[in-house]
Amino acid sequence: MAHIVHTMISGSHMSVPIITKLKEGTPEGGREALAFLEAAQGRELAAFLQGILLRSHIEACSQHRPSGKAHEPRGAGSLGLPRARPRRQQRSSHTPAQGKEELRSGAGTGLWRERARLAVQRRVHGGVHGCERLRESGYGVPVVARIAVVTGGNKGIGLEVCRQLAGSGIAVVLTARDETRGAAAVEKLRGLGLSSVVFHQLDITDAPSIARLVDFFKTRFGKLDILVNNAGFVGLEYIQDHIDGTSTTSEKFGGMDMNQRLELLMKWCLRETCDAGRKCMRINYHGTKQVIRAFLPLLLASDDGRIVNVSSVLGQLRFFGSEALKQELNDVESLTEERLDEMMAMFVEDLEGGAVEARGWPVAFSPAYMVSKAALNAYSRILARKHPALRVNCVHPGFVKTDMTVNFGMLTPEEGGSRVVAVALLPAGGPTGAYFEDRQQAPFV
């Protein structure tokens, strides 16, 4: 209810006394609010009625939760938002006029509550089970002022970004490839009181999966305010039965910097393969590009569209051995998206041909990871130049303890996530085409 009230205050200019009565749940507040909204836009009236349903009947719905049955999300349907169904639905004989009259008179008991509860069930197309899905999935999301998408949001840095954005009043669509893990991550955040987070399945390398998410946004919101591209792959193969950083003593890592820890990570846990390198380029560069291009119209429909690409210090051009490659990737005034794609294809050929070092590509850690992040940085700068209305930035979250780093990192996911969120929530009109490290702008080179 709180986010609906906030939307009314900011978008409708409803008077504070009415809002106060509405928050207190008084019949007088309901009557005055309805009278106000009847004179306003229909969308606001719908948002208000939606809020009333949420506030008055979620508790009643939750009493009917079937025991022993887990919530299993199915793409957009897991959000519990209304959508068209081909089958005919049972219609209530209770007219809208009667409903309004009951609300005006303050008859918010018994009959009205039961009718409203049944209305909720019909709108989510699932009877009592639908009520449970509504309770679990944040039905009020469409009326929240700003909305964000976070890729790879079910764990690590991505999960923290979702938590911190939601805690800042942003409605968040948490995405993940695995539906079960994604839904579990949302439930974890809901347990922290963050009801404005919902789940939608997304595989950033799968065009139909991306299209389903974009279609969902077109239908429900018509815009996207913040896109955080967090999903990624290390570009190396994990050694079977590898050691985990959490199993080592603090004395072992004591005093070690990032480079020293990366050396141990490569020695104990990872190995380079062509398959892993190709997969890395497919996810970190091409997959992220697919998501951005698909969402561009919706981002441009926002009055403050933002793209935050989670990059890495390892993507800085200083790690390249070839000056020609450095200069071309850094010349964003001349570099085109088509040429950048050609250069990435060249890298994959060199990777497969064993010529990475000879051609001057970086080799300090994972060549594919480093090149993919350098390419993502360059693409971000191209986008920023092409779309000045958007804020397109890259951020290094730090060397974070996650599954990807086998917990060899130096920062917690909360610390890494906060650096990403800081860029996502920069003041309006802030920098674009920039790279951030340690909460400050830093060079791409």
Residue 379: active-site member = no
Q: Where do the H-state alpha helices sit in 201-287?
A: 207-220, 250-253, 258-268, 274-280
Catalytic residue of the set 139, 238, 285, 369: 369
Tell how strand 434-437 and strand 306-310 pair up.
unpaired
CA 300 – CA 252 distance, rounded (Å): 49
* 436 contacts: CB under 8 Å, gap ≥ 6: 393, 394, 395, 396, 419, 422, 423, 442
User: Cβ distance 205 to 267 under 8 Å?
Assistant: no
Q: What is the dihedral of CA 94, 95, 101, 102, to 10 degrees?
A: 20
CA 288 – CA 426 distance, rounded (Å): 22
CA 139 – CA 4 distance, rounded (Å): 11
Residue 141 carries which side chain, given as an amino acid letter? V
Specify the DSSP element, H or E, that contains 129: helix 127-137
For the purposes of burial, counting CB atoms within 10 Å of the CB of 372, is it exposed (0-12), middle (13-18) or buried (19 or more)? Answer: buried
CA 62 – CA 121 distance, rounded (Å): 12
Provide φ and ψ at 363, rounded to 5°.
Answer: -135, 10
* 213 contacts: CB under 8 Å, gap ≥ 6: 149, 173, 175, 200, 201, 202
* Active site amino acids: 369
